[in-house]
Amino acid sequence: MFDYLIVGAGFAGSVLAERLASQMNKSVLLCDKRPHIGGNAYDYYDDAGILIHKYGPHIFHTASPRIFRYLSQFTQWRPYEHRVLASVDNKLVPFPINVDTVNALYGTNYSPAEVEAFFARVAEPIKHCKTSEDAVVSKVGRELYEKFFRNYTRKQWGLDPSELDASVASRVPARTNYDSRYFTDEFQAMPLHGYTRMFENMLDHKKIRVLTNTDYRDILGEVSFKEMIYTGPVDAFFDFRYGKLPYRSLEFKFETHDKEVFQPGAVVNYPNEHAYTRITEFKYLTGQQHPKTSVVYEFPQAEGDPYYPVPRPENAELYRRYKALADATPNVHFVGRLATYRYYNMDQVVGQALATFDHLRESQLDSSTVTVAA
Ligand code: FAD
Ligand code: UDP
């Protein structure tokens, strides 16, 4: 009898397995239907010997010292600040939009104050920003919206920005300074030996048993456990009782090139050309030295592995119905990006898993207090 069956060996499942085993001495069976641990953060060496991310580029960043400290128990870090170029008007320009982006596109020589004035001139006043279109045009106006956001978003989500919550495009700021970093969080770094190694260290505990290639449904009749932590898609758990919750998928096309460098930066976004959204060259992220280089193209898809929850009001409404079912399911805890239908980054999932652990520990303390009192 295991104390916990944990479904999914990504960040949500692995953090909880680690905490429950090491801090509460619980026995854990951690299963994943994929042939590996790490969930979407899984990385491995390809045939050329280059470290690549199987499910697209994963760049770690967090503002939380607690989350960074927690993960630092399982990995050393390589400092890395992510930068992105966008291919617009036949130029490669910094993205998020900053002072250099505006000057490169318009042939101007604006100062930060002049870019601020420019944005103020072109921005459309919108009182309550509800959609991703609102979020962008209210900051940088319609022309920059159309150059950088409209078509990328339509490709990525199969929806117009006017059909998506403001929170989606608001992940990307517009800047009136020269900062060309994609993120501004205090902690920005990549696991020195990769994500998979970090997960291996997390799960290396005598109370944790890992079963890959295992769908939890196939072992339900064979293993006994007291509680379950579920990190897969919430609609699948309930056999799609209320219909399918939309998740956006991607197809990845990997290439290895017989040259040291393929493109001038880690990621190049293609808002307006091609069926793919972006190309990532992994060696920039990992710092690996190698005479060849591997890249990945991302082609958004409606069907396939569920990667992104789709933030828009009707989906939030459908999710609320599934959440009510989840809340009413005893001894099963739903955690992570798919199980709570949230467009979370890795650090947010770690934070959510640590909060769930705190809650589980407190409720056990409460129940043991009750037992003693009784
Ligand atoms: P997952 O990693 O999806 O893990 C869930 C696991 O459950 C999966 O391995 C799945 O196989 C398993 N599972 C599902 N159903 C079953 C079942 N029935 N039985 C057994 N196992 C099951 N975040 C960042 O912070 N920075 C980035 O740069 C970044 N880039 C990203 C790029 C892409 C293309 C994508 C898709 C995501 C990116 N993310 C990034 C987000 C990041 O991947 C997630 O926040 C994080 O991996 C979510 O962890 P999780 O454990 O919730 O889910
Ligand atoms: N986006 C865009 N153009 C870009 C980059 C991003 O329109 O060049 C929008 C798009 O809707 C995207 C969202 O901003 O889905 C969030 O971008 P982010 O880079 O955070 O996406 P992720 O890395 O999670 O795929």
Q: pLDDT tens across 67-89, in order?
A: 999 999 999 999 999 999 999 99
Element (H, E) at 151: helix 151-157
Q: pLDDT value at position 317? A: 98
Q: pLDDT tens across 210-246, in order?
A: 999 999 999 999 999 999 999 999 999 999 999 999 9
Q: What percent of the chain has pLDDT over 70?
A: 98
Q: Distance of CA 217 to CAs 15, 113, 176, 244, Å?
A: 22, 59, 52, 19
Q: 56 CA to middle of ligand 2, Å?
A: 13
**pLDDT profile of the chain (374 residues), mean per 10:** 97 98 98 98 98 98 98 98 98 98 98 98 96 98 98 98 98 98 98 98 98 98 96 98 97 98 98 98 98 98 97 98 98 98 98 98 76 44
Q: How far is the C-alpha of 269 from the C-alpha of 85, rounded, in Å?
A: 6
Pocket mutation for ligand 2, best pick of 139, 152, 337 (most atoms within 8 Å of C-beta):
152
Q: How far is the C-alpha of 17 from the C-alpha of 33, rounded, in Å?
A: 16
Q: Distance from CA of residue 16 to its chain's centroid?
A: 18
Q: 163 CA to middle of ligand 2, Å?
A: 15
The verdict on the CB of residue 340 being under 6 Å from ligand 1 is: no
Ligand 2 atom 21: residue of nearest CA:
171
Q: Distance of CA 279 to CAs 16, 104, 301, Å?
A: 33, 21, 16
Residue 303 DSSP one-character state: S
Pocket mutation for ligand 1, best pick of 30, 34, 40 (most atoms within 8 Å of C-beta):
40
Q: Distance of CA 208 to CAs 6, 205, 211, 213, 252, Å?
A: 10, 5, 10, 16, 32
Ligand 2 atom 20: residue of nearest CA:
171
Pocket mutation for ligand 1, best pick of 29, 34, 52, 58 (most atoms within 8 Å of C-beta):
58
Model's pTM, two decimal places? Answer: 0.97
| List of domains in the chain | 2-37+203-242+310-363 (3.40.50.720), 99-170 (no CATH)
Per the CB < 8 A criterion, the answer to whether 250 and 300 are in contact is: yes
The verdict on the CB of residue 168 being under 6 Å from ligand 2 is: yes
Counting ligands in written order, which one lies closest to the CA of residue 84?
A: 2
Neighbours of 82 (CB within 10 A): 19
Q: How far is the C-alpha of 38 from the C-alpha of 43, rounded, in Å?
A: 8
Ligand 1 atom 29: residue of nearest CA:
58
Q: 153 CA to middle of ligand 2, Å?
A: 7
Q: pLDDT tens across 106-128, in order?
A: 999 999 999 999 999 999 999 99
Q: 40 CA to middle of ligand 1, Å?
A: 4
